[in-house]
Structure 1
């Protein structure tokens, strides 16, 4: 625009000045080889201007011809790219509608000349997976894997698909290629957690848990629950191997972990298994003094017997504070049955049925009442148990 304006101004200036210089003498003499040109100054200037405009026109015509030739040559390629965009858009809409056959078909077509073929290939693989078309899905992922920057995404997708198929061994092989560490992405770490849980690989999960906590990929309550479960199972598994493995597993725990009821009980069961019952009872007694809990009350009858009086004395001291605790009353009822004290057991089962009646508690009370010859009361307890069911 500015260039054209300059030309117009030059022409206007020439028109204004031409009357002033027409009457002036002067000429232009040009000699090129055997050719000679002699003309007036005004004619020479006008000729130069016309010559310049002619060159501009010639340049414009040449560029126009070149554009026409080039555009006609690459026109099919442009058409294909335009079609790829259209296919990708249709495929995205089909994915949103979960129209998997249409999504796979259009995304696969869009990948051929699309601007981001990897996006199309992953989308087509997802659509194929939801159609249970495993061969097509793996083919799309194999094409995407040819791009070096997509390898992590391909392995992650392949692991997730194999996990959903239930092919846990194959999924683990692919996950091992990702080598989950503290530097891995959040999706890889969450995928590793899910796979380890399904494979029940508690040792691998234990090594992964600190990273999950540090990266805040688990809520605190969820982390505590999963950590306790993992350590408990590892303790029970170690007890099945040897006493040395059991002790090693226990000493690997942190101080705070060694104060958890579930882990103390798991270690105590292992100690009993290797004839260290006194040590097990000491651990349970210490925890019972520090923080009596439902888990302890539930496990104590399985660890001690009628001859273990120390724990029974500790439990007796808690009677005033746990009078209305159903777990505590149930524990005392079971311990009374160990000593064949049916009358005492009846009292505690009655307390359980008063505090938190369940089908099992009414049945236990009915059985004790039958032992005591209280058949009418037993019948009523059986009836109440049936009503709860």
Structure 2
């Protein structure tokens, strides 16, 4: 309040002073331009100058505010468009997660150009189009994604490879992934996709070259990586035989041995691969070679199935083979598979009595149709017919397992004559 009062006093003072000066001397101002001149008092000139200044100042402020209002409107309009695009993108992603592919594609495509990151919209819309089977639309959306963000070529390429893989387009997918490998050689996800493509293409040699890189990049968990290695080298071993179908068993054995010894050192000690190698040796008749592999495996880890297989092999020296199996009996005296194997090896060495004893002990430990068949066959050839019949009767459930429950006659009942059967039917 005091400030206003002081300001009014100052204005009154200035006004009184100016009025006094105007009465004392009005002065004059002359403005001339060409043949035209304008003359006025100095005080009128000052008043016009002040008014002109104020008008110009007001006009400039008005123009500036008009320009600012236009900018504000544009900013408001852009913000509104971004908000609408954001809402559509959010609804589109929700529809995508719910499997509403048509709605997701429509919303994501519509909001892509007005979104700050159109790449996300185009990639998600491409997936929705792929799920609907619209492959051309999907490819167009992927191209738009590539054009909208050229620096995101790796992301777009990975999405394209995933879609090609889902379509079963293995060769184009492989080309896409190999191109990505050149651009991003350390990208672990590209390696994982390459692994899947190589498996589906049965390109085991390429996969074997990729496995060390998968290990260095830690692209797979250790268990998954081991399974991949085992699958890969199993197939490589099988291919070494299948590629020499017309060759002799000796040539197949050599090819198989070369493939086996060319594997990484730690895999030769892998039990699963060694067992598969053994099965392949047996399949081409290289049982003598398989015998040595089985013995090495059993030294590392006891395996009932391998023991069973050992008894089926025809080794180079049946007596030494039997002695080897007898040595295992000290540590595994109740193993049914070892007892079965000892029976077979005793029979191979024509030790008939010992073979019968081992078969009976194995059958006692674990009644199995396989053991029963071996024992019955041997007894039959030894002329033990009654003993064979008693054995089969006692273990009939092993032979006829899985039969339905049906009524049976009492023991000792005689078969009815044909005439009596007809009367019963009538």
TM-score normalised to structure 2 length: 0.69
Is the contact made by 2:339 and 2:358 (CA closer than 8 Å) also made in structure 1? no
Please report how far the alpha carbon of residue 259 of structure 1 lies from its aligned counterpart in structure 2 after TM superposition. Answer: 2.0
How many residue pairs align between the two structures? 370
1:149 aligns with 2:151: yes
- Higher-Rg structure is 2
1:166-315 residue pairs with structure 2 within 5 A? 166-179=168-181, 183-241=185-243, 245-267=255-277, 280-294=290-304, 296-301=306-311, 303-305=313-315, 307-315=317-325
SS of structure 2 residue aligned to 1:321: coil
Structure 1: distance between partners of 2:4 and 2:255: 101
1:106 aligns with 2:107: yes
Evaluate the alpha carbon distance shift between residue 109 and residue 382 of structure 1 in structure 2; reply closer, same or farther with a 3 A threshold.
farther
Please report how far the alpha carbon of residue 109 of structure 1 lies from its aligned counterpart in structure 2 after TM superposition. Answer: 1.7
Evaluate the alpha carbon distance shift between residue 258 and residue 126 of structure 1 in structure 2; reply closer, same or farther with a 3 A threshold.
same
Evaluate the alpha carbon distance shift between residue 298 and residue 114 of structure 1 in structure 2; reply closer, same or farther with a 3 A threshold.
farther
TM-score normalised to structure 1 length: 0.74
Please report how far the alpha carbon of residue 99 of structure 1 lies from its aligned counterpart in structure 2 after TM superposition. Answer: 0.9
1:343 aligns with 2:356: yes
Is the contact made by 1:336 and 1:344 (CA closer than 8 Å) also made in structure 2? no
1:314-360 Cα offsets, whole Å, 9 max, x none, are 22212132234455455445545655755145235425526xxxxxx
1:28-107 residue pairs with structure 2 within 5 A? 33-34=31-32, 38-39=42-43, 54-66=55-67, 83-107=84-108
Is the contact made by 2:321 and 2:345 (CA closer than 8 Å) also made in structure 1? no
Is the contact made by 1:346 and 1:369 (CA closer than 8 Å) also made in structure 2? yes
The equivalent residue for 1:366 is 372
Structure 1: distance between partners of 2:373 and 2:80: 85
Alignment RMSD (CA, Å): 4.4
Using the TM superposition, name which of 239-248 and 147-156 deviates more. Answer: 239-248
The equivalent residue for 1:323 is 333
Structure 1: distance between partners of 2:183 and 2:321: 45
Is the contact made by 1:107 and 1:123 (CA closer than 8 Å) also made in structure 2? yes
Is the contact made by 2:318 and 2:348 (CA closer than 8 Å) also made in structure 1? no
Evaluate the alpha carbon distance shift between residue 333 and residue 176 of structure 1 in structure 2; reply closer, same or farther with a 3 A threshold.
farther
SS of structure 2 residue aligned to 1:318: helix
Structure 2: distance between partners of 1:78 and 1:215: 43
Aligned residue among 389, 393, 396 for 1:375: 389
Structure 2: distance between partners of 1:376 and 1:228: 47
Is the contact made by 2:130 and 2:163 (CA closer than 8 Å) also made in structure 1? yes
Is the contact made by 1:365 and 1:381 (CA closer than 8 Å) also made in structure 2? no
Please report how far the alpha carbon of residue 119 of structure 1 lies from its aligned counterpart in structure 2 after TM superposition. Answer: 1.5
1:101-130 Cα offsets, whole Å, 9 max, x none, are 111122222224333222222111111222
Evaluate the alpha carbon distance shift between residue 318 and residue 16 of structure 1 in structure 2; reply closer, same or farther with a 3 A threshold.
farther
